[in-house]
A = this chain, B = another copy of it.
Amino acid sequence: MRLLLLNPNTSQELTDRLSAVAEQAKAPDTTITAVTAPRGFAYISSRAEAEIAGAIALEMIAERVESCDAVVIAAFADPGLKAARELFDIPVVGMAEAALLTACMLGERFGIVTFTPRLTPWYFEAVQSAGLAERFAGFRTPPAAQGDIGDVAERMAEELGALTAQMAKDDGADVVILGGAPVAGLAARLRSGAHSAVLLDPVSAAVKQAEALATVAPQGASHGSYARPPGKASQGLPRALAQWIVDGPSGG
């Protein structure tokens, strides 16, 4: 299975981190192509940035859809996820959604630990969009964002581990998702310590869910409200996306 691991941020360093984690989770017969956004923000951290990045994610998929079998949108609150599902007839998976749904099989309630409070309102929209708010045990974050995101996983590992333990103890979370692309892979490292919740890594969850969908529904979300819209002309959009929208794969 050919998986497109799409980083909607412009940071190549982040793509490398995501890619390394994804390679460890994938099945033997999955090949992963990791791509980095050509424009936008080094790291999305607001609703407005996600709105812009969502449109960029569509452009990135349009350029590559005919050479992949499934897509993972690798930013935690899943920019462009529903739009991509509608436009492309292969499985499209978001890191947040995949983690939330996977968590439902590992406990009754799940929470999210992340490295800055700034992101939580945007992340919460992903919880609501999945319809899982009543199983959500809340967020735990440091009081404020701190420094560069490049090494946040290493620098804040201990603090995030402590937040995880607090969440398990006080918030009734059976599962803790470590949210945010910059902390991809951290779950595995914290797991070796003694924490009283199942720790879940969103990139790994997304890779496995993409593989699952590629088996049980290779055309992805392709019917009903996700049926591909009729072809339509546009003005001023990037060429590959405009062409895909006007006439789809047969127009190639």
Contacts and interface: CB of A to CB of B under 8 A. Distances in A.
Copies in the complex: 6
Interface in A202-227: 204-205, 208-209, 211-213, 215-217, 219-227
Given A51-B80, A101-B101, A27 B27 contact: yes
Contact of A212 (B84, B107, B208, B241): B208
Interface residues of A, number: 89
Nearest to A46: B229
A211 B128 CA distance: 27
Given A46-B229, A52-B55, A55-B52, A212 B223 contact: no
B174 A198 contact: no
Given A172-B224, A245-B48, A41 B216 contact: no
Contacts of A134: 131, 133
A200 B216 contact: yes
Given A102-B212, A107-B223, A48 B83 contact: yes
Q: Enumerate the 6 nearest inter-chain pairs by beta-carbon distance, A residue then B residue, closest first.
A: A39-B236, A121-B225, A174-B224, A208-B212, A51-B83, A46-B229
